[in-house]
A and B are shown apart, each in its own frame.
Chain A
Amino acid sequence: MDTIVNRVNAARSIAGSCHRQARGIVLGAVFGWLAIGALGGPVYGDEGPEATGSRPDALLSVYCYDCHTGDGAEGGVQLDFLQRTDVDLSNHVEVMEKAIRVLRERQMPPADMDQPDDRERVALLTWIEQRLHSFDCGAVQSPGRVTLRRLNRAEYNNTVRDLTGLDLQLANDFPSDDVGHGFDNIGDVLTIPPILMEKYVDAAMKIAEKVVADDRARRQVFPYQPEGVKDTTRLIEFARNNIRHFGLRAFRRPLTEAEEQRFFEFARSRFEAGDLPAVVQQAIIAAMLTSPDFLFHMELAPDEAYTDGIRRLNDFELANRLSYFLWSSMPDDELFELAGAGKLGTPQALTEQALRMLRDEKSQALVENFAGQWLQLRQLDRITPDPELFPDFDKSLRDAARKETELLFRHIMVNDRSVLELLNADYTFVNQRLANHYGIRGVEENGFVRVQLPNRRGVLMHTSILLITSNPTRTSPVKRGKWVLDNLLGEPPPPPPPDVPELSESAETLGTLRQQMEQHRANPNCAVCHDKMDALGFGLENFDVIGKWRDTDGRYPIDASGELPGGRRFEGPIELIAILADEKKTEFVRCLTQRMLTYALGRGLTVGDRCTVSQIVDHVAQHDYRFSALIEGIVSSPQFMMQAKGD
């Protein structure tokens, strides 16, 4: 913080005298790159904008209001509210955050408009930041509301596996789950079209048949086996116990008495209609597995008894959230026992359980379903580099590439390493195929081993990520840069104007690539984003389409140096990642937190969640960026532990 303040002071003292170009450089150093992330609170101490002599409302009308007022506001962004004292600023958080970002990054005002000088820019920024923080996190925040969400395919498969002991994978034949907010477990997006309901019913019937035909599965589902028992009262008792046992697991909560009675009556009616015991059992299993309580993560909305419309989830609901977050599956016996004893509902208990669960093999689901979607490893299946240009590429490389990134994530998760190692680990996990690909000697045939990396760091230089950010015939610095901004820094660049083709560079050879870069630079509207995207991408040019190291592209030598907005220069990928891991670590952790919280909750985040996200980011930073701190922050957040009333 001190550094920033000093730099700002320096900037102020220089600003008055230097000419435009020099001022730009200093400004860049202050706002363009370094200052991002220093926005934890008011940066400029007591010295408010008034002290600068510039009145922010005057600055707004000079530099912003030409375009950003009223109904016809450019891009739909209206800034009128900033001057008003009678507005609820919590409705404008996103716009304010955006205004700060674009001001800081000199994206606004557009280059062809009058530019504020750096003093004015500081004044405006400070003022908007103060406005933004004025309403902030002290007030009661809603924990948000998750729309009733159904099991997705992975959850269905895992739940059936853990419920019956039969790994049937029937959901592989279900229609694909649509993705929203980057994940396939978002309640609002997970619809039940008729075809899926049909598959649910057929799957339930099939599972029921398989369970009663398999002695072990049958005992797991219905452990109370009345062998040799003839007494009707006792038989009924066994049946009720079985219904209770299976009901608890299938619904992930105890059945109510009324529910138990309904299932019992259902069983009795089947029995009296002449069904064999096995058929009665089938009917019960099929009915449970077709029930909404099995298919949905059932959390009923707070009723009138909750006057503020916010309800603390009960222990069974928490157990359910926890296990689907970390295991993509139902809770295990320990979780059920804790929930039954009412011992799960504290942040400490949830954290303790979460850490236990991460050590369990089932946490592989978090790797495959969270990391697989966050880092888009699942896209690998659709990637096929041109076989003539890249004859080296084959399925074994694709598989190894995915595995490498999954193993690094898993390593950090299980060993509670710093999440920053995802960015800058100087080690990785390779099998022989991948070792050859990376030019690492001495890896034997058997499976994956940990190795030190001479010229790579972190996931960004994994073959997996390099592959999914390339075109079939050539690398794409733009795609790579955009991927970093989207997925690692959480600063997705705004989409290009409509008449510019998005990421279209299929005929891009090095020559034409340079020409395109020059076009970007020539057009200030392109430059604001492409300066950053392209610099990041060019820093990775030493890696070809399939992630192999190269010193030349055709006959051109690779130039992997670059300059990030703000003037930070780097020579090659390792320096680039060092800058990111150092100066952008807050953005990275924030981005990871946002993604993981989205995944954990099964809903998109809203402005109401930003205080929680900030608190988690701080918490992670205070704990050496450990993975466990991230998990702890999430499972003990109000968002995770509570539910607000919906519409």
Chain B
Amino acid sequence: MYQTPKISRRTILRGMGVSLALPWLESTTPAVRAAGAQQPPVRMGFIFVPNGVNVHQWFPRKVGYGFDMPYVLEPLKQFREDLLVFTGLTHDKGRANGDGPGDHARAASVFLTGAQPRKTDGDNIRVGVSVDQVAAKAVGHLTRFSSLELGIHPGQNAGNCDSGYSCAYSSNISWASETTPMGKEVNPRLVFERLFAGGKPSEVEKSRWQRLELKKSVLDFVQESARRLEPRLSYHDRRKVDEYLSGIREIERRMDLATAPETRDIEVDYPVPDGIPKDYREHIRLMCDMAVLAFQTDSTRIFTLMFANAGDNKNYRHIGVSDGHHDLSHHRDDPVKLEKIAKINRFHVEQFRYLLERLKSVQEGDGTLLDHSMIVYGSGIHDGNRHNNENLPVVLAGRGGGTIDSGRHVRYDTETPMCNLFLSMLERMDVHVPYIGDSTGKLPGLTV
């Protein structure tokens, strides 16, 4: 099916002039590779967009292969064979279920958790572990970073985010535990430095080792300090110190990996990003580049990316929409507003296309990086005017290492849990859990 390229230790990331190593290949001998024992790993990524979509311009009419692509999805035309477009997936726990208003906060916090967020402005925040973190716990130890959390906007820094829900619910989709959101990095420079700093071969080996050794001894010391504290703490306080300790363990794990010989010489020839670009499109694209670089170097196999926080109300003047996105999303079927929403939706999809282009441009094994990935793109709300959570706009790109028959529009019964998709994706990452969120089983129909 694919032309098998000659795999060298280095490959060129087209268009960016980046050369880098493929660490997942390094530990294998050519003989083993020839026997086909080492497949490229399967990766997963999740992209969140706020405020629902213009549903008239999103859902294809034709089901199955050769589906039509309405205005919003049209930019993905060249990737039709790499996509599954879903109709009918639902996040029941995004509904009020007695909790009253706050659909935006719920839409983000339910998006990857499938859990009903506890309505609180601060005390005892709780939702559920998100699908990416379920995967990270199972396979994260195989890579330097268990997972990568990316975003464009930092959390809101004052006021009330949504109707009595703490802002933590609106600005995070990734949750390490029921009570700890993962936070996210919005500055591409910092992502880059985090991923690749310290890996430059030019660095003097000895001083680097010394610094690592110093850091290690400091971590040992403070870990012991924290353990001594624990018995004297109340339940809630202990939770905080637990977060502290698991953070330390994650750093230690990475340091151990970083000193392991087979992963030591990641070399990236990509210009260090300057910081946060003023231009929104450029910002999203840089973040996409970071995700691709992370996958390509097998620094992680899991990422999440919020194109904007829940309920975001920024304007899109650069594409001729000067109203705030959230204000617009309450369109009351006004055709002018619907048209503007479609434009915003399409703009976001165009940025998604950029990510797919990058992933597809990377040859890996007998295919491309996109072939070995599963990228979910969607919103936790169907229609911003109705604030409803059934039939969510969701697409899945990539073939999951040949485990997905893409190129189709698949229709499910309306109340099919979105979490069933997550369960099926986890299975493809070789992560086997009985359920996630409100899943009722695996999602049929990913293969024909």
Contact = CB atoms under 8 A, between A and B. Distances in A.
A193 to B, nearest CB: 4
Contact of B158 (A192, A379, A647): A379
Interface string A170-191: 0001011111111110111101
A184 B157 contact: yes
B6 interface: no
A178 B167 contact: yes
A386 B327 CA distance: 14
B19 interface: no
Interface in B159-196: 159-161, 163, 166-168, 171-172, 176, 179-187, 190, 194
Given A177-B155, A193-B149, A471-B324, 20 more contacts: A177-B157, A178-B172, A180-B122, A180-B168, A191-B183, A194-B146, A195-B149, A195-B194, A291-B222, A292-B226, A293-B225, A296-B240, A296-B241, A372-B158, A376-B159, A378-B158, A386-B315, A472-B315, A646-B235, A647-B236
Nearest to B250: A194
B337 A506 contact: yes
B167 A179 contact: yes
B17 interface: no
Given A191-B243, A193-B183, A495 B122 contact: no
A441 B334 CA distance: 46
A180 B157 CA distance: 10
A60 interface: no
B96 A498 contact: yes
A292 B149 contact: no
Interface in A470-487: 471-473, 486
A301 interface: yes
B214 A283 contact: yes
Contact of B122 (A76, A186, A378, A379): A186
Interface in B334-350: 334, 336-337
Given A148-B237, A196-B183, A201-B219, A507 B334 contact: yes
B101 A647 contact: no
A295 interface: yes
Interface in A372-394: 372-373, 376-379, 382, 384, 386-388
Contacts of B101: 495-496, 498, 502
A173 B233 CA distance: 30
A178 B120 CA distance: 13
Contacts of A178: 155, 166-168, 171-172, 181
B215 interface: yes
Interface string A488-514: 000000011010011111110000000
12 contacts: A148-B233, A176-B155, A176-B183, A194-B146, A194-B246, A197-B243, A198-B250, A287-B221, A471-B323, A498-B387, A506-B323, A506-B324
Contacts of B155: 176-179
Interface of B: 96, 98, 100-101, 120-125, 146, 149, 154-161, 163, 166-168, 171-172, 176, 179-187, 190, 194, 211, 214-215, 217-219, 221-222, 224-226, 229, 232-237, 240-241, 243-244, 246-248, 250-251, 314-315, 317, 322-324, 327-328, 330, 332, 334, 336-337, 385, 387
Q: Main SS of chain A's interface residues?
A: loop
A173 B168 CA distance: 18
Given A376-B158, A502-B330, A292 B244 contact: yes
Contacts, number: 241
Interface in A332-391: 372-373, 376-379, 382, 384, 386-388
A573 interface: no
Contacts of A201: 215, 218-219, 248, 251
B158 A282 contact: no
Contact of A194 (B176, B215, B218, B322): B176
A150 B240 contact: yes
Contacts of B167: 178-180, 189
Contacts of A176: 154-155, 157, 171, 183, 186
Those 10 A-B pairs whose CB atoms lie nearest each other, nearest first? A197-B247, A180-B122, A501-B330, A504-B330, A646-B234, A176-B154, A175-B183, A148-B237, A178-B168, A373-B158
B215 to A, nearest CB: 6
Contacts of B317: 386-387
Contacts of B171: 176, 178
A200 B222 CA distance: 12
A507 B235 CA distance: 50
B315 A179 contact: no
Contact of B187 (A173, A184, A303): A173
Nearest to A379: B158
A501 B385 contact: yes
Contacts of B330: 501-502, 504, 506
